[in-house]
Chains A and B, each alone.
Chain A
Amino acid sequence: MNAHALEFSQAFNYTDLARYGRGVFLEVTLVANSHMTPTLRVRVDSAASFCVLGRQWADVLALDWEAGDPVTIGTATGTFSAYRHDITIRLLDYEWTAGIAFAEWDTTPPSQARDVLGLTGFFDHFLVAIDDLSETIYLDPRF
Chain B
Amino acid sequence: MSKSLVKHPVKKSAHPVRDHTQEWAWIAKHGDAYRGQWVMVRYDRLLAADPNIRSLLSRVPTAEAADAVVWYLETAEDEKMAVL
Contact = CB atoms under 8 A, between A and B. Distances in A.
Contact of B10 (A21, A29, A41, A143): A143
A96 B8 contact: yes
B17 to A, nearest CB: 5
Given A17-B24, A90-B15, A125-B10, A110 B70 contact: no
Nearest to B73: A20
Interface residues of A, number: 54
Interface in A70-95: 75-76, 84-86, 90-95
Nearest to A139: B10
A125 B6 CA distance: 12
A41 B70 CA distance: 8
Given A56-B57, A96-B11, A16 B3 contact: no
Interface string B51-73: 10110010000100111111111
A27 interface: yes
Interface of B: 2-13, 15-18, 20, 23-25, 27-28, 31, 36, 38, 40, 51, 53-54, 57, 62, 65-75, 77-79, 81, 83-84
Given A38-B68, A95-B11, A99-B2, 15 more contacts: A16-B27, A29-B17, A29-B66, A35-B62, A41-B69, A86-B3, A86-B6, A90-B17, A94-B16, A95-B13, A98-B4, A109-B51, A112-B72, A126-B10, A143-B11
